């Protein structure tokens, strides 16, 4: 199992949903970056369950930084962050050791690891692990902000609804029916200079997509106009250019800030599709892999009727890690710690 992403700056995830702890090791981060533990805590709070729209599982996410930080600043050595698991109900998952949840990683994990995987709460494939990604992202986001680079993710829609009231109604209705709903998130990255990224295999779109697709439940991503390009002519789709204050800019941003896999100085804009939470209490057809027979499953346990609102900060966090990695490749890893 490979659990590391990045080139100049790497992040390795560890832990399982119902294990003792989850966490991340961040390597390649510059020395001298201020580490704000209150900010890390606030980012983790954004990811935690919110009211009746989310799972009843409540983890405090009282993280510990075990290495790589001294007197409030990064040392340049690997940073290890751990987050304990406390509110686990592992007995809820006994039936799901052999009854595979449709559209969950239960079956594929069993195929990949020959039945040795930790199945409790989804194990290493659980959305719980994204807390470690948020903590890692919170290490670099303030440094990016000081460089004038800002990342923001908003909810575009949930279950086809765009207004908050209607979205919440859809979530609560699905919950009452033992079901779940998905949605779309839109992310904008501003302040990244032109010329970041590599052609062909390490494009900005490719690297961001690689990270965003690591988030459980993400099933699609598009940049700029995305699939709407198919209905445009070249004259409609092209981002025409002009000069302002000795800087090249575009009248439109249909390409989402990326041309040829490289940033053009416009905001990087992309949308990610979050599928409905696969674990639902509605009875569904599935298989029992122990007896190799058809069966049904109405999942027990505590699960989100929608994770779109919780996933926003995760998308921001992984995007921050990718942007920091790509900037490190262009300017050197120490660049992130040099402030004027």
Residue 282, pLDDT score: 93
- Tokens (6 digits) for 165: 């009231």
Q: Which residue segments constitute the domains of the chain, with CATH numbers given?
A: 4-337 (3.60.150.10)
pLDDT band of 94, cuts 50, 70, 90 = low
Instruction: Check whether 51 has a pLDDT greater than 80.
Output: no
- What local confidence, expressed as pLDDT, does residue 149 receive? 98
What would the 3-class secondary structure string for the chain be?
CCCEECCCCEEEEEECCCCCEEEEEEECCCCCCECCHHHHHHHHHHHCCCHHHCCCCCCCCCCEEEECEECCEECCCCEEEEEECCCCCHHHHCHHHCECCCCCCHHHHHHHHCCCCCCHHHHHHCHHHHHHHHHHHHHHHHHHHHCCCEEEEEEEEECCECCHHHHHHHHHHHHHCCCCCCEEEEEEEECCCCCCCCCCCCCHHHHHHHHHCCCCCEEEEEECCHHHHHHCCHHHHCCCEEEECCEEEECCCCCCCEECCEECCCCEEEEEEECCCCCCCCCEEEEECCCCEEEEECCCCCCCCCCHHHHHHHHHHHHHHHHHHHHHHHHCHHHHHCCC
Query: What pLDDT sits at residue 87?
Result: 65
Mean of pLDDT values over 27-51? 93
Q: What is the pLDDT of residues 181-229, one digit of tens each?
A: 999 999 999 999 999 999 999 999 999 999 999 999 999 999 999 999 9
Reported as a pLDDT band with limits 50, 70 and 90, residue 95 is: confident
pLDDT at 266 over 50: yes
pLDDT tens per residue across span 122-167:
888 888 999 999 999 999 999 999 999 999 999 999 999 999 999 9
Q: What is the pTM of this model?
A: 0.94
Of residues 250 and 125, more confidence is placed in: 250
Distance of CA 281 to the CA centre of its chain: 25
Residue 118's pLDDT band (boundaries 50, 70, 90)? confident
Q: For 325, phi and psi rounded to 5 degrees?
A: -65, -45
pLDDT of residue 19: 87
In the predicted structure, residue 52 carries a pLDDT above the cut 90: no
Of the pLDDT bands very low, low, confident and very high (cuts 50, 70, 90), residue 7 is very high
pLDDT at 55 over 90: no
Mean pLDDT (whole number) for 237-261: 97
pLDDT band at 270 (very low <50, low <70, confident <90, very high): very high
Unique residue bearing structure tokens 């050791």:
97
What's the whole-number mean pLDDT along residues 114-129? 87
Tell me: pLDDT of 63 over 80: yes
Q: How far is CA 84 from CA 17, 59, 64, 90, in A?
A: 10, 8, 9, 15
Average of per-residue pLDDT across 114-123: 86
**What is the model's pLDDT at position 90?**
55
pLDDT, mean over the chain? 93
Share of the chain above pLDDT 90, in %: 84
pLDDT category of residue 60 using cuts at 50, 70 and 90: confident
Instruction: Indicate the pLDDT class of residue 119, thresholds 50, 70 and 90.
Output: confident
pLDDT for 340 = 47
Angle at 122 between CA 279 and CA 169, to 5 degrees: 30
Determine the Cα–Cα distance for residues 177 and 103; give it in Å rounded to an integer.
19
Q: How many CA atoms lie within 13 A of 174 on its CB side?
A: 24
Segment 301-327, tens digit of pLDDT: 678 899 999 999 999 999 999 999 999
User: In this predicted model, what pLDDT tens digit does every residue of 170-185 receive, in sequence order?
Assistant: 999 999 999 999 999 9
């Amino acid at each position: 199992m490979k659990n590391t992403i990045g080139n100049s700056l790497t992040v390795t995830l560890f832990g399982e949903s119902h294990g003792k702890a989850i966490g991340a090791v961040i390597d390649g981060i510059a020395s001298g970056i201020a580490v704000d533990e209150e900010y890390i805590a606030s980012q983790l709070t954004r990811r935690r369950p919110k009211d009746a729209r989310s799972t009843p599982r409540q983890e405090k996410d009282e993280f510990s930084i075990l290495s790589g930080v001294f007197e409030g600043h990064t040392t340049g050595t690997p940073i290890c962050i751990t987050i304990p698991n406390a509110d686990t109900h592992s007995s809820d998952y006994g039936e799901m050791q052999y009854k595979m949840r449709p559209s969950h990683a239960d079956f594929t994990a069993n195929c990949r690891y020959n039945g040795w995987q930790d199945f409790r709460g989804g194990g290493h494939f659980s959305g719980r692990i994204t807390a470690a990604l948020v903590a890692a992202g919170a290490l670099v986001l303030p440094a990016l902000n000081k460089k004038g680079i800002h990342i923001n993710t908003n909810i575009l829609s949930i279950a086809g609804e765009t207004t908050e009231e209607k979205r919440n109604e859809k979530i609560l209705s699905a919950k009452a029916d033992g079901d779940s709903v998905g949605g779309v998130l839109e992310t904008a990255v501003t302040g990244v200079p032109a010329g970041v990224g590599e052609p062909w295999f390490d494009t900005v779109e490719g690297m961001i997509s690689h990270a965003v697709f690591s988030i459980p439940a993400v099933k699609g991503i598009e940049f700029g106009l995305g699939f709407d390009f198919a209905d445009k002519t070249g004259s409609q789709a092209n981002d025409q250019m002009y000069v302002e204050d000795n800087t090249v800019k575009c009248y439109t941003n249909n390409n989402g800030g990326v041309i040829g896999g490289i940033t053009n100085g416009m905001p990087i804009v992309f949308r990610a599709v979050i599928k409905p939470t696969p674990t639902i209490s509605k009875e569904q057809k599935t298989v029992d892999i122990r007896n190799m027979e058809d069966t049904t499953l109405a999942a027990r346990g505590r699960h989100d009727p929608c994770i779109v609102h919780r996933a926003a900060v995760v998308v921001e966090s992984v995007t921050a890690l990718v942007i920091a990695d790509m900037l490190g490749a262009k300017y050197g890893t120490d660049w992130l710690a040099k402030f004027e």
